[in-house]
Amino acid sequence: MLTSISKKVTMSEKLRPIRSFVRREGRMTPRQQRALDEFWQQYGIEYSAAPLDLSEVFSRQAKTFVEIGFGMGKSLITLAKEHPEHNYIGIEVHRPGVGAILSDINELQMTNLKIISHDAVEVFKHMFVDETLAGVLIFFPDPWPKKRHHKRRLIQIDFVRLLVQKVQIGGYIHLATDWENYAEHMLYVVERVPGLKNPAGKGDYTPRPESRPLTKFEQRGKKLGHGVWDIMVIKDQ
């Protein structure tokens, strides 16, 4: 159940421009750098403030799902492998992660997965046409645990409204976090955005769907007794 949460989604915070990331580059491995150099042109999509034609990007018409902040890309690779009938786009600015997933895509010769390396807020504002996406996935975003940093969290009312614009009727937004306070904040936000329905019931979390791959990070956390909270809401109008 949703526990009591400080209702501090204030107007000033709501209108504050947010970014979907903080640059923490890390060290590139030779494999990752080679993938960036050799495979970006084939599997990457350059940012442009112009709408994407998804049927042209994938040379077919199919349901398209977008994951924001895929990290090293293991979950996204798993989803795309298990569902070749669907198209997937991953958004990530962490260059080692982009290099890692490009290498995996090339090794598996996948045709249903493309990558955008740019701020997700700008990508959703300018590149996705309204009501064209089947779902948006945001797994374990930066929780910004310190109270003074909560305004930097990606999941805010304005951003979720933007996501809703891009999702088709019947499509969904799937969030997951291992920080309980962020889970409470996420649930508070999505239940205050018009057009979304929580099938689990108002104030309730979604039991972990089998469709979400279990990461090594999550498995390790579970062994240590850490909780994970899933929220899946459906666009119903």
Residue 195 vs residue 237, higher pLDDT: 195
Alpha-carbon distance of 103 to 107, in angstroms, equals: 6
Residue, of 3 and 195, whose pLDDT is higher: 195
Whether 45 and 89 have beta carbons less than 8 Å apart is answered as: yes
Residue 18 is predicted with a pLDDT of: 53
Q: Walk across the sheet containing 196-197 and list its strands.
A: 113-116, 87-91, 64-68, 133-139, 167-177, 229-235, 196-197
Give the residue among 221, 131, 132 at the shortest CA–CA distance from 176: 221
114-172 pLDDT, tens digit per residue, is 999 999 999 999 999 999 999 999 999 999 889 899 999 999 999 999 999 999 999 99
43-90 confidence digits (pLDDT tens): 999 999 999 999 999 999 999 999 999 999 999 999 999 999 999 999
Quote the mean pLDDT of the chain.
Answer: 90
Domains of the chain with CATH codes: 25-235 (3.40.50.150)
Regarding pTM above 0.75, the answer is yes
Q: Quick count: other Cβ atoms within 10 Å of Cβ 168?
A: 15
Q: Which residues carry out catalysis?
A: 142
Distance, C-alpha 71 to centroid of its chain: 10
- Residue 46: which of 107, 123, 111, 103 has the closest Cα? 123
What Rg do the C-alpha atoms of the chain give, in angstroms? Answer: 17
So what's the pLDDT on residue 24? Answer: 55
- DSSP-derived secondary structure for 62-129: --EEEEE--TTSHHHHHHHHH-TTSEEEEE---HHHHHHHHHHHHHHT-SSEEEE-S-HHHHHHHTSP
SS3 category, 33? helix
